[in-house]
Amino acid sequence: MFWSIFLVALPAVHAALIPSVHDHNDESHAVSSRLPDTWYQPDDHPVHALFKRGAPGDGTNYPAVGSPTWSSAYPVTSPDVNQLPKEWVNALNAAVSAGKIPNIPQSSNTPGVNPVYPAGSDPNGQQVCSATYKCRIPGDIWDGPTGTFSISFDDGPTPVSSTLLQFLQAHNEIATHFVIGVNILQNPQVFQDIINAGHDIAVHTWTHPYMTTLSNLEILGQLGWTTEIIRNSTGGRVPKYWRPPFGDSDARVRAIAQEVFGLTTVIWNSDTEDWSLTSGGTTQSQIRDSFIKWLTAPSKTPGIVTLEHELSTESVTAFMNNYPMIQPNGWQTGSLARLIGSSVYQNSKDPNSPVALAGIVVGASTPSAGNSSASGTSSTSQSSQTQTTTSSTSTGNGNQSSQTSNAALVSRDIPWNLAYILIAFCAPTLTAMVSILA
């Protein structure tokens, strides 16, 4: 009888002593069930080592957006290739050595004229496949899902972004903002307003150059610093999408974006040319005619992906004037990043979901004052799997909560589970011996 009661009671005692995997260390709030356990990219993709957040205590910190410490970590103009974090350069070199980056010559261009490749390089050929020349590479995004109108804006944040945000909020819309790095430095409060309003953030390079005219290292700087400032300003979220300025990308550029930073290239299929409203290149009337043509087309396949800008009062006005026509013509509106994919960021579903921490967290880069290459400093991972560890999980507003590692708790359960199995196995023999002695 004693052993029967003991065996029945043992699991309850074990459950009482071992905390649930959902328990927190002195935290009163629960972990969201939406917490993803993997990143968008495979575990062996370089982006994990470049941008994964560090565990508490490894030195990683996120300075307040707009503070001197925050801004001093980044270049104020075109990135210096001699000041790039070594982790980025190593990842690029590894991709080149593996044959993942095509050996395509740089293009050249005169401002306002499409880039030109050297003789013998066909921009429409499979090897080069320039997006400027409307050559499409499988995997790049040009079209939206059938019946959808993807809302996105380039070149923010700018002072006129505030007017756009008010309009979007009034109409219960979320947009994808392809942001420029130096514009974030110059307009940190506007950038925070975009984030706090729940909008989606993607990469539009650091200084808005023609990307195919750049060297591999220059491309690395343009994409890397923009990805870095987004990550360090959004609670650790790593962008998933990027849009090349002027739509200027090719097989080499998009390969660097994908293979080093895990970024998917996004172009467009409907150009408003609103950027030229201030220079007389187009008019509000012409943009309206374009909207009418797109929205009343006989087919809703493919979905509409426009090129629009939060660049000037005129460009924002163009969107606001034509937005009322979209839904009455039978189109579903939504943020581009949400319509074309399952998640907005590589490590988070959207701005309101937690940040994924899959496996052991390594290599988080840390901005520090006065050193533009400080973000290349790697942190040391925690290697013990038998101790209880805590991981930093970011909420939508960048605040952190402490989450006990599931793997560590499972490891802590092992001795109890083995003991329980051993006792259960030996119980019949022990019971028989007690009966004989009795």
Which of the residues 154, 155, 250, 350 is marked catalytic?
154
pLDDT at 14: 41
Q: How many CA atoms lie within 13 A of 20 on its CB side?
A: 5
- DSSP per residue over 182-249, as a string? HHHHH-HHHHHHHHHTT-EEEE--SS---GGGS-HHHHHHHHHHHHHHHHTTTTSPPB-EE--GGG--
Which of the residues 199, 248, 309, 350 is marked catalytic?
309
Decide if 274 is inside a domain: yes
pLDDT at 190: 98
Reading the block at residue 436, the tokens are: 């004989």
Residues 62 and 189 in one domain: yes
Domain termination residue (choose one: 325, 356, 376): 376
Predicted confidence (pLDDT) per residue in 108-137, tens digit: 988 778 999 999 999 999 999 999 999 999
Q: Is the pLDDT of residue 98 over 80?
A: yes
pLDDT at 409: 32
CATH number, position 203:
3.20.20.370
Reading the block at residue 318, the tokens are: 């163009």
Residues 177 and 292 in one domain: yes
Helices (H) and strands (E) in the chain, counts: 13, 10
Decide if 40 is inside a domain: no
Decide if 32 is inside a domain: no
Give the pLDDT band (50/70/90) at residue 163: very high
Average pLDDT score over residue span 417-437: 50
The count of structural domains within the chain is 2
Decide if 38 is inside a domain: no
Q: Is the pLDDT of residue 426 over 90?
A: no
Decide if 35 is inside a domain: no
Residues 221 and 366 in one domain: yes
Q: How many CA atoms lie within 13 A of 16 on its CB side?
A: 5
Decide if 155 is inside a domain: yes
Decide if 37 is inside a domain: no
Is position 154 annotated as part of the catalytic site?
yes
Beta-bridge mates of residue 144: 303
Domain assignment of residue 20, given as a range: 2-25+382-437
pLDDT at 111: 79
Percent of the residues in the chain that have a pLDDT greater than 90, as a whole number? 65
Q: What distance in Å separates the CA atoms of residue 341 and residue 200, rounded to the nearest whole number? A: 12
Is position 208 annotated as part of the catalytic site?
no
Q: Is the pLDDT of residue 392 over 50?
A: no
Residues 185 and 242 in one domain: yes
Residues 329 and 422 in one domain: no
Reading the block at residue 273, the tokens are: 């040319």
pLDDT at 110: 84
60 C-beta neighbours (distance < 10 Å), count = 20
